[in-house]
Amino acid sequence: MSVLRLGDVAPNFAAATTEGDIDFHAWKADSWAVLFSHPADFTPVCTTELGRTASLQQEFDARDVKTIAVSVDPLESHVQWAGDIRDVGGTDLNFPIIADSDRVVAEAYDMIHPGEGDTSTVRSVFIIDPRNVIRLILIYPKSVGRNFTEILRVIDALQLTDAQPISTPADWSPGGRVIVSPAMTTEDAREHFGDVEEVKPYLRWTAV
């Protein structure tokens, strides 16, 4: 098993999900995707996470992002769990959960970490762009729930920096100042962006 890194093509797979059988690359097509694993159905942290994801689907849709979860539990368990996800999150399950009992997806994405205790998946997150390229990898321990607002913030940053010659600074949030690419001169940056503040020759602020 090879280690996945940023810039790698996300492995394709075929799988059964709560919304039917899929081919992952064909399912996501030309959209962004968030593929995230949870250790087990009918567990407290996972229930809050999937409920939160369901409640944020309009936000993901607005960014052309498809969300999909995976665990090694069987499809029947996922279907039965959907009611609890609705009760806890306040929204019906509105994205697919992959049934990965043969661990094909978990192994392709290195989601099982033996040091974490068993053969279930840890809390991995993969943000994958429309070209099927992995743009972000996050790995949380089983005891710590993810911040899905942060996942949306990272997607905003990735989409913005893909569209403009900029980077985002520490603690950036949408609407905040950004950093001009070091590849641009300050003169070119002012022509491109208008208002540019030069703090250091390599650190120039602007707004987009």
Catalytic positions: 46
CA distance 113 to 32: 26
Cα 156 to Cα 178: distance, rounded to the nearest angstrom: 12
For 128, 140, 161, 168, the CA distances from 64, given in Å and listed in that order, are: 12, 25, 16, 21
Query: What gap in Å lies between CA 35 and CA 157, rounded to an integer?
Result: 18
Q: Is 67 exposed, middle or buried (0-12, 13-18, 19+ CB in 10 A)?
A: buried
- For residues 158 and 130, give the distance between their C-alpha atoms in angstroms, rounded to a whole number: 12
Eight-state DSSP code of residue 7: T
